[in-house]
Amino acid sequence: MRNRLPLDVAERAGWTGVQAALGILITELADISLWWAAPAALVLGSAKSWVAGRLGRKGTGSTLPESADPATPPNITFPA
């Protein structure tokens, strides 16, 4: 069995960076205090997880395919 943890870590780090950058962009475009970037990123992260739970790996907030997601137990497949 191959180690899927590096993919999971890369996915989480990548999405966190995107959400933080978008949070900062939103505060800049709205011309509001930078302190609002964290709540904006939190909302974006929650929205991403909600969408991923319906479109990506079912039952998780992961956007990784089932074969690469560490939440998938080995040798078990889930119905689509």
Number of H helices, E strands in the chain: 2, 0
C-beta neighbour count of 64 within 10 angstroms: 20
Residue 13's Cβ-side half-sphere holds a number of Cα atoms within 13 Å equal to 6
Mean pLDDT across the stretch 62-78? 69
pTM of the full predicted structure? 0.74
- pLDDT tens across 19-49, in order? 999 999 999 999 999 999 999 999 999 999 8
